Amino acid sequence: MSAKSNIWPFFSFWLPVAFLAMQAGLELFLPQDALSSMLSEQGPHEALQFLLAFLAALVALRCLWLVKSGGDFFLLFWVLCFVLSCIYIAGEEISWGQHIAEWGTPDFWGQLNDQNETNLHNTSSWLDQKPRLILLTGVFTGGLIIPALARFRPGALPARFKIVYPPASLSFVALCVLGLVLIDKIDEALKDTVIMVRASEIEELYMFYFVLLYLVVLHRRILQRQS
């Protein structure tokens, strides 16, 4: 699959639009309690987050297999970062299997974890909010800033790293993330008015989806370079 294929606009534009429309319908017609349940740890949105991160990890591992003997140490390091990050995200989304197997949390770990789960991100902001901020910055940089520079000031982007620059076709997904961030901030400011129940969960979905699409593009580029 490439950004120029006929099916690509479906994944990079129409599918994100369809999901936003579906979520808007749920927000309008479902009671807030039902929405909160859907967006809980055991809800479908959480399962979809895990699925996206898991698929991204598989694609990243495939990229790693392709570049491990190519001699490009920068690309090898770049892909390895995605492998580790996607595995971490996927594992944390299901508390490393606890949400599926439903095992109990050991007492010593429950005292460290504010949600009484066997994951890391609920033990410290450095393992939760800081990685989230890094991912959010990456989405905005890769989905908005780099495509803008590529269009208006291409000389500002070193050609050496061209293979890892996200395509402009991912900008819409990045814009969706930006819109969801703004909605979340508005909800926090208004307090008594809720535009979206837990908009941050939908925001995570779109961030993970951005990463998955980006890795699909990167995989295609690596294959093209090696052919």
Of 37, 149, 132, nearest in space to 92 by CA: 132
Of 79, 85, 84, 55, nearest in space to 67 by CA: 79
- Does the pLDDT of residue 5 top 70, yes or no? no
Of 55, 50, 52, nearest in space to 99 by CA: 50
Q: Is the CA virtual torsion 223, 169, 197, 28 positive or negative?
A: negative
CA distance 193 to 47: 28
Say what the pLDDT of residue 3 is.
42
Q: How confident is the model at residue 105 (pLDDT cuts 50, 70, 90)?
A: confident
Of 2, 9, 16, nearest in space to 52 by CA: 16
Say what the pLDDT of residue 17 is.
97
Half-sphere exposure of 29 (CA within 13 A, CB side): 6
Which one is predicted more confidently, 117 or 22?
22
Residues 6+ apart with CB under 8 A from 194: 32, 187
Say what the pLDDT of residue 197 is.
83
Residues 6+ apart with CB under 8 A from 159: none
Answer yes or no: are the C-beta atoms of 53 and 60 closer than 8 Å. Answer: no
Q: How confident is the model at residue 6 (pLDDT cuts 50, 70, 90)?
A: low
